[in-house]
Chain A
Amino acid sequence: MSTAADFQFNVKQNWCPGCGDFSVQAAIQRALAAVNVEPHEVVIVSGIGCSSRLPGYVNAYGFHTTHGRSLPLAQGVKLANPNLTVLACGGDGDGFAIGIGHTIHAMRRDVDITYIVMDNHVYGLTKGQVSPRSDLGFKTKTSPEGSTERPVSALELALSAGAGFVAQGFSKDLNELALLIEAGIRHRGFSFINVFSPCVTFNKVNTYEWYSQRIKKLSEIEGYDPANRVEAMRCVMEYEGLVTGRIYER
């Protein structure tokens, strides 16, 4: 039996105090213990960005790769050794800008890995540039007049690309997030979990409070059926992507 503590590695994260990524790490450790794998049976693969430093903070095999390329490498690991539990993680720049091609094709290919995006709508490691998940009008160092490009609809994209497991969590709700990641790991095939993980330093708009005021929990929608893909798409569109929970599972 493994415990969440077994996955804890004694290293100081270089995330800002209050960063949403802390609870993502905690949720991953809880989920790994819940599916009862040993640390040496786990590989966490990441790209480049603040959130992509996560594998170095967990007691498991970790591979911190190049920007946007965590998914192809993670698929190679899983295909080479299906006995490993393989997680990929990174930020919204990693998964929806430079790496969006891999994201779509990994969803189509359906290799049994779990992909966790720590979505903060901004580039943090490079100190505050616009991201493909930034809202219209969002002002950054590289969008001083406000972003003019529409944000990528992460959940709609995942549903249409054929992902067999689509979920969304919020860093403030660790319990729900850990359960979603656990369900993603248990799902046979590619699992996608988008996490609203606020950047407290470079995003003063999409804050914990901002999300708390807007998020609709699917568990509160009576009769919501995650097996119904059409319903999942309708719900995601209706709430403009601001939902948390298990959205779809094939």
Chain B
Amino acid sequence: MVRQISWKIGGQQGEGIESAGDLLAQGLSWQGYHLYGYRVFSSRIRGGHTNYNLRMSSTPIASIADNVDVLFALDQETIALCAHELSVDGWIIADELFAPILPEGTAARLMIAPLTALATQAGSAKMKNVVAVGLTAAMLGISPAAFEAPLRERFHGKGETIMQANLTALRSGWDYAEKTRPEIKAAYQLDTGDGVRRLYMIGNEAISRGAIAAGAKFMAAYPITPASEIMEAMVKRLPKLGGAMIQTEDEIAACMMAIGANYAGVRAFTATSGPGLSLMAESIGLAGMTETPLVVIDVQRGGPSTGLPTKHEQSDIMAAIFSTHGDAPKIVMAPDSPAAAYPDTVEAFNLAEEYQCPVILLSDMQLSLGTQTMELLPIEGVPMRRGNLKLAADLPELAKNQYFKRYQVTADGVSPRVIPGTNNGIHHVTGLEHDETGRPFEGVVNRIAQTDKRLRKLSTVVGHFPEPLRTDAPFAKSKLLIIGVGASSGPIAEALLRLRKEGVTVNHAQVRLLHPFPGEKLQELLDAAETVVVVEHNATAQLASLIRANSSQGRKIYSVLKYDGNPFRPEEIANGCRGVL
């Protein structure tokens, strides 16, 4: 019995790689296993190598594994690209159709199996992916029946013939291993799952559900990898709630439309990736200057420019904070897991209204497209905090030729907000510097008062934000402090366990609020550590720079960086830390 295994299937896009992984995952998740799925794909629809890595465990996991234990290869390219990832006693199970060859020096064992032949016998060569799932079931010592229900669900509505053929393909993969391959039969028998059915979904789905829970009624967006799933999810849901998702002509329009809807009183947002964030920079500044609530989801991918559109990176940190010209007020936050992305998205909408400013929620490709088992909070009872919003009943009568003081200078910097349509609330809104009523005004005293007011608002964000740092810091004095951001919380947590097992006193902080930066809170942990390692997915150590700028840190901060497009494996982080100790 093993606690966890790492499984992968690879082939050409269009060969059913994703459905094989999803089918296996669904069957296992219904048995109560914890899963972490991660896909590698290219920016094309058919053709090009793709693979699906599924890590399965009887205990919670939040990262890809160091190695792959079982690799299903539907072509030689998969072997060439992935053989080096295999563990020493791992298996490469390759389709006999392409006469697979094991590269010299590969530690893993090769098993040639008639995947396509069995699928053809069952009715169609296309079902070789389902044969692979049947064979996997036998390796895991799990009855194929566990995958029949999810298979029926997937093929429901495609006709009885197709359904039966797939069931036959599943069974034939299982039979093949059971009857003719004793060496792999139950080779990776997993500890029993706890039977709890969890959601198995991508972070983008958690973000979408968060937006719905927050009461968002409007989204405007332009398609872009890896954020499009959010607009696809919203277009299905919003019309039923009396709202709408509009696909715009570009990201500028998307951002401006969302600002318009927010100005008119509806919770509205957009979602994009790096190139879109660059286009939105000016509009985000307008929301900051006009103190209009706005939520922008930025799912980071490899940059700069078009960069690595389908690969993981965390290189928009500085762009999210600083890309808008001028002293623009904004909040930048980064959920540290797909499950956290749900309440954090709700929080983003609340903060946007409370602080009347743009909130950028930075996700990353691993967090947004990695598939994970998770349990979510219910949508009912989610608090909706609208800040200093005034209704008509709150307003005194406005004299002729007077505007409402929408930009009143207040102690906390937050001014009363009214939405158009409100009687006695008429005021002007402009991206120009303006007086308390919103009328353009360049007077120096006013300029300073309005600038200070806009920035003063943010002074309470750190204290108000739920867990600006998520910490696992049991040591009052630590040899090492690891700091990360976004989805790296998963592999860091595993690296942490290994280092602690080796006797290293190591604390961990995942930064969840990037701007304004929780410098004072981090300072205590920095002071308690002998050495600091900042783990991030970019080449320029952006998070480390932010930490340096926001802390008094005499000793050297080391960086463990990865920018090849792939997420960290736990051992890479552990090794990076060992290197500086």
Least distance between A6 CB and chain B CB atoms (Å): 9
Contact present for B256 and A65 (CB under 8 Å): yes
Chain A residues lying within 8 Å of B529, measured Cβ to Cβ, are none
B259 within 8 A of A: yes
A229 within 8 A of B: no
Least distance between B194 CB and chain A CB atoms (Å): 45
Chain B positions 338-381 with a Cβ under 8 Å from a chain A Cβ: none
Least distance between B248 CB and chain A CB atoms (Å): 7
Contact present for B260 and A77 (CB under 8 Å): yes
| Per-position 1/0 for A74-107, Cβ under 8 A of B | 1111111101100000000000000001101100
Contact present for B218 and A80 (CB under 8 Å): yes
Contact present for B253 and A74 (CB under 8 Å): no
Complex partner residue of B426 from A61, A74, A75, A78, CB under 8 angstroms? A61
Chain A residues lying within 8 Å of B264, measured Cβ to Cβ, are 43, 76-78, 80-81, 84
B268 within 8 A of A: yes
Chain B residues lying within 8 Å of A69, measured Cβ to Cβ, are 252-253, 256, 283
Contact present for A76 and B220 (CB under 8 Å): yes
B211 within 8 A of A: no
Chain A residues lying within 8 Å of B263, measured Cβ to Cβ, are 63, 73, 76-77, 80
A126 within 8 A of B: no
B47 within 8 A of A: no
Contact present for B248 and A61 (CB under 8 Å): no
B160 within 8 A of A: no
Which residue of chain A lies nearest to B256 when distances are taken between CB atoms in the complex?
Answer: A72
In the bound complex, CA of A105 to CA of B248 (Å) = 8
Contact present for B218 and A79 (CB under 8 Å): yes
Complex partner residue of A75 from B260, B266, B432, CB under 8 angstroms? B260
Stretch of B9-17, B136-144, B417-425, B509-517 contacting A (4+ beta carbons < 8 Å)? B417-425
Task: Kindly name the residue among B282, B422, B431 whose own CB sees the greatest number of chain A CB atoms within 10 A.
Answer: B431
A59 within 8 A of B: yes
Contact present for B428 and A40 (CB under 8 Å): no
Chain B residues lying within 8 Å of A11, measured Cβ to Cβ, are 439
A185 within 8 A of B: no
Chain A positions 150-169 with a Cβ under 8 Å from a chain B Cβ: none
B261 within 8 A of A: yes
Least distance between A84 CB and chain B CB atoms (Å): 6
In the bound complex, CA of A77 to CA of B218 (Å) = 11
B257 within 8 A of A: yes
Task: Kindly name the residue among B220, B252, B265, B423 whose own CB sees the greatest number of chain A CB atoms within 10 A.
Answer: B252
The number of inter-chain residue pairs (CB within 8 angstroms) is 132
Contact present for A64 and B429 (CB under 8 Å): yes
In the bound complex, CA of A75 to CA of B263 (Å) = 12
A224 within 8 A of B: no
In the bound complex, CA of A55 to CA of B420 (Å) = 13
In the bound complex, CA of A76 to CA of B266 (Å) = 10
Chain B positions 245-301 with a Cβ under 8 Å from a chain A Cβ: 246, 248-250, 252-254, 256-266, 268, 282-283, 286, 290
B460 within 8 A of A: no
B401 within 8 A of A: yes
In the bound complex, CA of A64 to CA of B263 (Å) = 12
| Per-position 1/0 for A27-38, Cβ under 8 A of B | 000000000001
Chain A residues lying within 8 Å of B257, measured Cβ to Cβ, are 72-73, 75-76, 79
Q: Interface size bucket, B side?
A: 35 or more
Chain B residues lying within 8 Å of A59, measured Cβ to Cβ, are 401, 426
Chain A residues lying within 8 Å of B423, measured Cβ to Cβ, are 38, 40
Chain A residues lying within 8 Å of B256, measured Cβ to Cβ, are 65-66, 69, 72-73, 76
Chain A residues lying within 8 Å of B163, measured Cβ to Cβ, are none
In the bound complex, CA of A56 to CA of B290 (Å) = 14
Least distance between B252 CB and chain A CB atoms (Å): 6
Contact present for B253 and A9 (CB under 8 Å): no
Chain B positions 217-264 with a Cβ under 8 Å from a chain A Cβ: 217-218, 220, 244, 246, 248-250, 252-254, 256-264
Which residue of chain A lies nearest to B266 when distances are taken between CB atoms in the complex?
Answer: A80
In the bound complex, CA of A217 to CA of B430 (Å) = 37
Which residue of chain A lies nearest to B423 when distances are taken between CB atoms in the complex?
Answer: A40
Chain B residues lying within 8 Å of A183, measured Cβ to Cβ, are none
Chain A positions 164-218 with a Cβ under 8 Å from a chain B Cβ: none
Given A10-B401, A76-B256, A76-B268, are A101 and B420 also a contact pair (CB < 8 Å)?
A: no
Least distance between B365 CB and chain A CB atoms (Å): 27
In the bound complex, CA of A9 to CA of B403 (Å) = 10
In the bound complex, CA of A63 to CA of B425 (Å) = 14
Given A66-B282, A72-B252, A105-B249, are A41 and B260 also a contact pair (CB < 8 Å)?
A: no
Chain A residues lying within 8 Å of B248, measured Cβ to Cβ, are 72, 105
Contact present for A55 and B428 (CB under 8 Å): yes
Chain B residues lying within 8 Å of A101, measured Cβ to Cβ, are 249-250, 253
15 interchain pairs (CB within 8 A)? A10-B400, A55-B428, A60-B426, A62-B429, A63-B429, A64-B431, A66-B431, A72-B260, A73-B260, A76-B261, A78-B264, A81-B265, A101-B250, A102-B253, A104-B249
A contacts, CB < 8 Å to B: 9-11, 38-41, 43, 45, 53, 55-56, 59-66, 69, 71-81, 83-84, 101-102, 104-105, 109
B contacts, CB < 8 Å to A: 217-218, 220, 244, 246, 248-250, 252-254, 256-266, 268, 282-283, 286, 290, 400-401, 419-432, 439-440
New A-B contacts (6) at CB < 8 Å, excluding given A64-B430, A75-B246 = A40-B423, A56-B439, A59-B426, A76-B258, A81-B264, A81-B419
The 4 closest A-B pairs by CB, nearest first: A76-B260, A80-B264, A76-B257, A64-B430
